Amino acid sequence: MTVVTRFAPSPTGMLHVGGVRTALYSWLYARRMGGKFILRVEDTDRERSTDEAVRVILDGMAWLGLTADEGPFYQTQRFDRYRAVIAQMLAAGQAYHCYCTKEELEAVRAEQMARKEKPRYPGACRHGREPRAGVQPVVRFRNPAEGAVVVEDLVHGAVTFQNTELDDLIIARSDGTPTYNFCVVVDDMDMGVTHVIRGDDHLNNTPRQMNMLIALGATPPTYAHVPMILGPDGAKLSKRHGAVSVLQYEEEGYLPDALLNYLVRLGWAHGDQEVFTREEMIAAFDIKDVNKAASAFNPEKLLWLNQQHMMRAAPAALVPHLRAHLRRIGLDSEDQPFLEGIIVAQRERAKTMKEMALNSRFFFVERVDIDPKAAAKHLAGGGRDMLAKVRERLAALPQWTAEGVHGVLNDLAAALGAGLGKVAQPLRVAVTGTAVSPPIDVTLALLGRERTLARIEAALSMPVGD
């Protein structure tokens, strides 16, 4: 059997980390099993669905690299199919028209509540009722009246629901539009979904969906309901905790692999391994190993993992990410070795790609603005004289390499009996504008002779109060 999984977000809110983790588990399981992964946009709620939310889903999935083998399918494009199935179920007696009015149902509900009973549809139309003038009927599914449904959930184990607890669900509203639980059923059946992996807030829908699938002659898929993600304070994850659009992580400079790595570990473990490549995740993941307890989102750990991925990735793989962040601050370069060099020089010092881009500004601009504090500290006093000496020796350097620069600075420090810092700091301030940068030899090698000397020149002619 080929495994078919799907991610079926409703575009009613922004795709955030909770949804991404569900998508990831579905994608990973399909990849692990050599199966198929489908993307389905559940946009039947026209009032709450937005184009912006659809865009975040599509762009977010693309940025994460969670590529679908089929789709995106849109439920709003499948209404004819849903209507046909409703007609078929009505004809087979598996569904029926219900003419109960809202007022009647509310009155029944109030009585049930007063008797402390669970509110449920009383079944007035279940056994056939004449059409009532002026009432547009809804269509209800004829749920089995007896027996039980057992959901053999891969995360929660067997969960039993008594059919007497399940209402005759409305599958079409009085305006004829199909309802959410029904569309899911038709889609999962038509799309040959074998494994439904979704949030455990849907567990209560599952027995109804299974009953409908059975009525339609389909074999229900295997279900895995994954737990919620909580905020660091244990409350349901909300905007306050960073439950923002997944694209915001892109903007903040996170790597998709780091975010996926973080999310896979929330509720799943493989020994004590923390850092996973995509390939390692695929090889090790099994939905059966997902923990059923909810887990809390930890932004510091995500940041730590991000840097781990920045440190381990091939520099070439990080170039597109660096360029994307450089462009946001109006900078760019197509010089691949230069960009890779910057990545290697900077990645120990930045936790995000955004931070790396911001720290690397001085590599791209024509002239640096020198931080006055750094100038006062390192260019005043003897700093400028030191810089002039450095300039002289650097200008005479035959081969402009990191080793060459290193040799010049070491020799000068030895000749003057000074520490390397005394020699290097004025130079660092002159070429980077600040007192903090990657190792000075690497920095100069990347900047090149001309730019380095021009910046030293500019610093030497800058007025600094001594």
39 is an interface residue for ligand GLU by CB under 6 A: no
Q: Which of 236, 239, 301, 377 is catalytic?
A: 239
**Closest distance of CB 445 from ligand GLU, Å:** 51
**Residue 239: active-site member:** yes
Tell the smallest beta-carbon distance from residue 101 to ligand GLU (Å): 29
Residue 9 binds to ligand GLU (criterion: CB under 6 A): yes
Q: Could you tell me which stretch among 5-13, 77-85, 214-222, 379-387 binds ligand GLU (CB under 6 A)?
A: 5-13
State the minimum distance, in angstroms, from the CB of residue 78 to ligand GLU.
Answer: 14
Q: Binding of ligand GLU at residue 184 (CB under 6 A)?
A: yes
Question: CB of 212: closest distance to ligand GLU in angstroms?
Answer: 13
181 is an interface residue for ligand GLU by CB under 6 A? no
Site for ligand GLU in 190-209 (CB under 6 A): 198, 202
Closest CB 9 distance from ligand GLU, rounded Å: 5
| Of residues 230-249, those binding ligand GLU (CB under 6 A) | none
Which residue's CB atom is positioned nearest to ligand GLU? Answer: 198
Binding part of the chain for ligand GLU, among 8-16, 95-103, 293-301, 400-408 by CB under 6 A, reads 8-16
Report if residue 292 touches ligand GLU, rule: CB under 6 A.
no
Q: Which of residues 184 and 342 has its CB atom nearest to ligand GLU in the complex?
A: 184
Q: Looking at 2-10, 70-78, 304-312, 376-384, which segment touches ligand GLU (CB under 6 A)?
A: 2-10
Candidate ranges 3-11, 43-51, 63-71, 98-106; the one touching ligand GLU (CB under 6 A): 3-11
The single residue among 14, 16, 31, 42 that binds ligand GLU, judged by CB under 6 A, is: 42
Count of residues engaged in binding ligand GLU, rule: CB under 6 A: 7
Of 4-12, 71-79, 122-130, 402-410, the segment contacting ligand GLU by CB under 6 A is 4-12
Query: Which residue in 3, 4, 5, 8 binds ligand GLU (CB under 6 A)?
Result: 8
Does residue 24 touch ligand GLU according to CB under 6 A?
no
For every residue of 64-109, which 3-state class applies, written as one string? Answer: HCCCCCEEEEEHHHCHHHHHHHHHHHHHCCCEEEECCCHHHHHHHH
HEC states along the chain? CCCEEEECCCCCCCCCHHHHHHHHHHHHHHHHCCCEEEEEECCCCCCCCCHHHHHHHHHHHHHHCCCCCEEEEEHHHCHHHHHHHHHHHHHCCCEEEECCCHHHHHHHHHHHHHCCCCCCCCCCCCCCCCCCCCCCCEEEECCCCCCEEEEEECCCEEEEEEHHHCCCCEEECCCCCECHHHHHHHHHHHCCCCEEEEEHHHHHHHHHHHHHHHHCCCCCCEEEEECCEECCCCCECCHHHCCCCHHHHHHCCCCHHHHHHHHHHCCCCCCCCCCCCHHHHHHHCCHHHCCCCCEECCHHHHHHHHHHHHHHCCHHHHHHHHHHHHHHCCCCCCCHHHHHHHHHHHCCCCCCHHHHHHHCHHHHCCCCCCCHHHHHHHCCCCHHHHHHHHHHHHHCCCCCCHHHHHHHHHHHHHHHCCCHHHHHHHHHHHHHCCCCCCCHHHHHHHHCHHHHHHHHHHHHCCCCCC
Asked if residue 301 binds ligand GLU (CB under 6 A), the reply is no
Least Å distance, CB 201 to ligand GLU, is 7
Catalytic residues: 239
- Interface residues with ligand GLU (CB under 6 A)? 8-10, 42, 184, 198, 202
